[in-house]
Amino acid sequence: MATAAATAAAADVPSCRDLPAAVSAFADAFVDFAVSGIFFPSTPTPSPPPPPTPTTFLPSPTRLVAIGDLHGDLPKSLSALRLAGLVPPHDPTSWSAGPTLAVQLGDILDRGGDEIRLLYLIRRLAISAAGQGGALLPIMGNHEVMNVSGDFRFATPQGLREFSAWAGWYRAGLAIKRRCARGGDGGDPPPKNPFLGIPKEFPGVKPEFWDGIRSRLAALRPDGPIARRFLADLPTVLVVGDSVFVHGGLLEANVEYGLERINAEVSEWIRGERGANAVAPEFVRGRDAVVWLRRFSDGVNCDCQRLEGVLGMIPGAKRMIMGHTIQTEGINAVCGAQAVRVDVGLSRGCGNGLPEVLEINGGGTNVRVITTDPAEAWQYRKQGAEKAAIATAVKEKKGEVKEGLALLVRESHGLKEVQAKAA
């Protein structure tokens, strides 16, 4: 009788076979909140898989907003989001702009200590926006490409600490999931360990930064958990109505190659479908790459004729909106407003520029710059030493000055494209 009762009682206890989805969802929610302080909405049914290719073409919305480079600065990024009317004053995870479509021009990573929290915030806001018929769409910047490539020259000690903290919580989540890993109880297969094959020592770098570098590699290498979740579905080029959004710029060869093809190949690389140590696709590498080009964003002497020719290859395109190059005078346009430059050096790690956003209404007929209220602008005004610091930041953006981890090693090339051994 006792044995029969014990058997019956055991039958009433849920096994891993009954709980794998719930355990996995709990572990993910636990890690999300521990890392970012954000809960993502739970769904009663599994989320549909992301499309194999990021979105490239979208129709013109009633209101379109462009925000420049953020570079790991959460408070300043929130200033820009509020300035654009995308979030309410006291709830940064709620979308307040209805059907507005907002594009963030890339370079969320590097130069600051809030990189992961920014990725989480932007993704949470994108979910909230979709529920109201709006959208928040970041695109790839050169610093996202660099980090997926293992090039951490512009990571900061604060950024490394953030990734170390993420790694600790992520390992805790893995431990929870392993309790229902496939075995005698028939649960899910063991979760993949992204830390396998990654070096534990980095000669030439101070040992105090080794764990941060290792954590960053695990998170951001092709098919790494942060790369796959937050970067793999981002477009590299996005055309919204008559506006072309790209971090650096486009040349004729890029359009001829195919904007959708570029987006697909970058996405495949980040998802690890080309191998754990595959190099970045050609069109995001080199001086004239779509995330590196400065031909139309640096100074007033643009090659306007060439820009007009490139835009003419994209049906209906009237303007190219770019980040990447700091505009010390604020958001501006040249070439008859065909080249619009929106990187204001917002981040405190990259100029501490005055928050500004670009707004396009009426299907492209009404374009204006929204700038910080004069009552608040005093804290961003550039004077004396600050101007010199911004000039240095501009040089750093162009690779003329070493900063971040580049200052922590004997030769900065020691941090370029660190590879992980195949697991």
**Tens digit of each residue's pLDDT (9 = 90 or more) over 356-365:** 999 999 877 7
Domain boundaries, the chain: 53-148+224-379
**Tens digit of each residue's pLDDT (9 = 90 or more) over 190-232:** 778 999 999 999 998 999 999 999 999 999 999 999 999 999 9
Dihedral sign (CA 141, 143, 147, 151): positive
Q: Is 143 one of the annotated active-site residues of the chain?
A: yes
pLDDT given for residue 145 in this prediction = 98
**Tens digit of each residue's pLDDT (9 = 90 or more) over 254-310:** 999 999 999 999 999 999 998 878 899 999 999 999 999 999 999 888 899 999 999
Q: Report residue 408's pLDDT band, with 50, 70 and 90 as the boundaries.
A: very low
pLDDT given for residue 19 in this prediction = 54
pLDDT at 69 over 60: yes
CATH of region 53-148+224-379: 3.60.21.10
**Tens digit of each residue's pLDDT (9 = 90 or more) over 366-394:** 899 999 887 776 666 554 445 555 556 66
Which listed residue (71, 90, 143, 324) is catalytic? 143
pLDDT at 333 over 60: yes
Between 339 and 184, the more confident residue is: 339
